[in-house]
Amino acid sequence: SDCYNVNEKGHLTISGCDTVELAEKYGTALYVMSEDEIRSVCRRYKSSFERHYNGNGTALYASKAFCCKEICRIVTEEGLDLDVVSGGELYTALAAGVDAKHIHFHGNNKTMQELCYALESGVGDIVVDNLNELHRIEKLSAEKGVVTSISMRIKPGIDAHTHEFIRTGQIDSKFGFALENGEAFEAVKEAVACENVELIGLHCHIGSQIFDKAPFVLAAQVMLKFYNKIHTELGKTLTHLNLGGGFGVKYKEADAAVPYEDYMSDVSEAVHAACKEYGIQVPYIYIEPGRSIVCEAGLTLYTVGDIKTIPNVRTYVAIDGGMYENPRYALYQSDYTCLIANKVNEPADFTATIAGKCCESGDLIQENTLIQKPEVGDILAVLSTGAYNYSMASNYNRNTRPPVVMVRGGESRVIIKGETYEDLVRNDV
């Protein structure tokens, strides 16, 4: 990503800030995010919607990727809507001052409390996952004397997570209504018959970290076919279609670039062609990327505390962080690019296993990865940690979550304070 560079001291910089100086100023472990990069991705999405849909659609930022008040302000200032999946994410967005109309509430088992909260806040729509939820929303809306806008989560039967993506009849997923057996159509009929909900659209999401654009195109075609079936067979014309998120990002140099520009043009072609064929108006299109907006904009800085070589096996480089602030390697064996931030110009020819400080052997950030020759006291940087790191962090071993610093044009500021020991016992009785 464009926000990274190397300065005259051979230090890694992000948005014009020297990462070694950031580590000194704020301490480690430290999450750093580039506001310039985040805004530039938002603008690219925005201009894609201008180009391909005449502005008749928008991206929602899937806040699960990284949620705090400041990111909600930044992405909505750039004109994106927000996807929230819990009362907590909704609360954060509202606390940031986001207009509820621009918030879309997802999730496969929203609690009664969350549904009440969403209704009272007046969110743009609730994406309904199942019939029990539909009935709860209908009942709550009737009690409150309101009509609630909903969309329905559909399983389009596309498994994009296989090597070659596949079209499956019945996809094994806990999310949404199946198309194949008529479940989705019956559910739509019920929703249309409800007096206190207004079905405005359909939603699907086929997976995450996907580089292939074909499954996205197929999903758009499948969804529009169903959208049209509702129009022709039930005489109900919907207005919105949400095609989900999931665009891949670069974790390693070898990864392809974010494919969303291709994705946007191919999908819009498919959308326009289908609508022409069916003779219907092009719906208002939503997509909901999370990872591709924040992932490459973020990195994490650590101090190397120990280097332990197990002869003929491997070398552990121990850092002052770990699975409590980045659980993704422990969970998914995910790739990361690691480097010594104060020695970027030196050759990366040292094979290291980056180990955290949690009391378990699986607490690794990356295994057998090439970095510059490390010494105790060096600053280790892990790149592309802007998505699903802070948001998936925990207090395991009663470690405190690190602060998040936002950088922009050479300036830095804390957007989430680091936790203190008092924070850890705040709710202990």
Q: What three-state secondary structure class fits 33?
A: strand
Minimum distance from CB of 87 to ligand LLP (Å)? 17
Backbone angles phi, psi at 30, to 5 degrees: -145, 130
Minimum distance from CB of 205 to ligand LLP (Å)? 4
With tokens 């071993």, the residue in question is 397
Q: Is the dihedral of CA 67, 69, 70, 72 positive or negative?
A: positive
Asked whether position 384 contacts ligand LLP by CB under 6 A, the answer is no
Nearer to ligand LLP, 71 or 340 (CB): 71
Residue 234, burial from CB neighbour count under 10 angstroms (0-12, 13-18, 19+): middle
Minimum distance from CB of 107 to ligand LLP (Å)? 9
91 in a labelled binding site: no
328 in a labelled binding site: yes
Minimum distance from CB of 167 to ligand LLP (Å)? 20
Q: Which of 18, 37, 125, 288 binds ligand LLP (CB under 6 A)?
A: 288
Binding-site residue total for ligand LLP (CB under 6 A)? Answer: 18
Classify residue 101 by its DSSP letter.
G
The rounded distance, in Å, linking the Cα atoms of 373 and 39 is 35
Q: Do the strands 379-383 and 298-310 form a parallel or antiparallel pair, or are they unpaired? A: antiparallel
Dihedral angle at the C-alpha atoms of 122, 124, 128, 133, nearest 10 degrees? 0
Backbone angles phi, psi at 237, to 5 degrees: -100, 115
Asked whether position 155 contacts ligand LLP by CB under 6 A, the answer is no
359 flagged as catalytic: yes
Q: Which of 23, 65, 80, 238 binds ligand LLP (CB under 6 A)?
A: 65
With tokens 């539909």, the residue in question is 134
Asked whether position 129 contacts ligand LLP by CB under 6 A, the answer is no
Asked if 224 contacts 271 with a C-beta cutoff of 8 angstroms, the reply is: yes
Q: 172 CB contacts (<8 Å, ≥6 apart)?
A: none
The interface mask with ligand LLP, positions 324-363, x = CB under 6 A, is: ----x-----------------------------------
Tokens of 160: 């994009």
Residues numbered 228 to 267 that lie near ligand LLP (CB under 6 A) are 244-247
Nearer to ligand LLP, 315 or 391 (CB): 391
Angle at 411 between CA 405 and CA 413, to 5 degrees: 30
The interface mask with ligand LLP, positions 174-213, x = CB under 6 A, is: -------------------------------x--xx----
Asked whether position 289 contacts ligand LLP by CB under 6 A, the answer is yes
Residue 8, burial from CB neighbour count under 10 angstroms (0-12, 13-18, 19+): exposed
Asked whether position 388 contacts ligand LLP by CB under 6 A, the answer is yes
Minimum distance from CB of 25 to ligand LLP (Å)? 28
Q: Which of 104, 106, 213, 408 binds ligand LLP (CB under 6 A)?
A: 106
Asked if 196 contacts 247 with a C-beta cutoff of 8 angstroms, the reply is: no
Q: Which residues are annotated as a binding site for pyridoxal 5'-phosphate?
A: 246, 288-291, 388
Q: Which residues are catalytic?
A: 359
Binding site for ligand LLP (CB under 6 A): 62, 65, 83, 106, 205, 208-209, 244-247, 288-292, 328, 388
Q: Which residues are annotated as a binding site?
A: 246, 288-291, 328, 332, 360, 388
